[in-house]
Amino acid sequence: MTTSQTKRCEHCNVLYTYHPSTYGFKPEYNDSRYCQDCDKVIGEALATVPVKFKKKFVPTSDYTREEIISAQEKRCEKLPIHRIMMPLFDLTEPTNQQHNFCEMMKDPISGQRIYYSVTWWSKKPDEVEVCKEIWWDIINDCAAKYQYTPLKN
Ligand SMILES: [Zn+2]
């Protein structure tokens, strides 16, 4: 298990230690491209630029619950271990469980694979909420006009 890597900073060229997987522990300055000093300066400079878009789950009718669960089952068939999701429980009614599935599916608008979620409570199995994760325009408080995100090389 790799817990740290030695990297050379892309700006000042110093050697530094990068922690790729932090398992909940997140060092304040930990970047795959820049050392701590440079990352701190970049962070401070970027703090003055407001974030304009964020990811957000919104209701959609792109897919049904059955289609999302079926896609997940198909994907999980190939995996040796099934991921177990802990369901949420209604504290006032312990028999009422929240079921939640999340799966990457093709977005008919952008053509890219994005996250879809399906949620329902066991007491009301017909009240299904299907959502998709989209880019949200923070400034105009609406869905972003352009959803396409170029893939990283
Ligand atoms: Zn540096």
Summarize pLDDT for 99-150 with one digit per residue, the tens: 888 999 999 988 899 999 999 999 999 999 999 999 999 999 999 998 888 8
Which among 146, 114, 136 has a CA at the least distance from the CA of 56? 136
CA 15 / ligand 1 centre spacing (Å): 8
CA 44 / ligand 1 centre spacing (Å): 14
pLDDT-derived band of residue 70, with 50, 70 and 90 as boundaries?
very high
DSSP 40-88: HHHHHHHTTSPP-EEEEEEE--SS-HHHHHHHHHHHHHTSSSPPPPPPE
What are the extents of the domains in the chain? 5-46, 53-143
Length of the chain: 153
CA 35 / ligand 1 centre spacing (Å): 4
Phi and psi angles of residue 125, each rounded to the nearest 5 degrees, phi first: -65, -15
CA 36 / ligand 1 centre spacing (Å): 7
Structure letter (DSSP) for residue 136? E
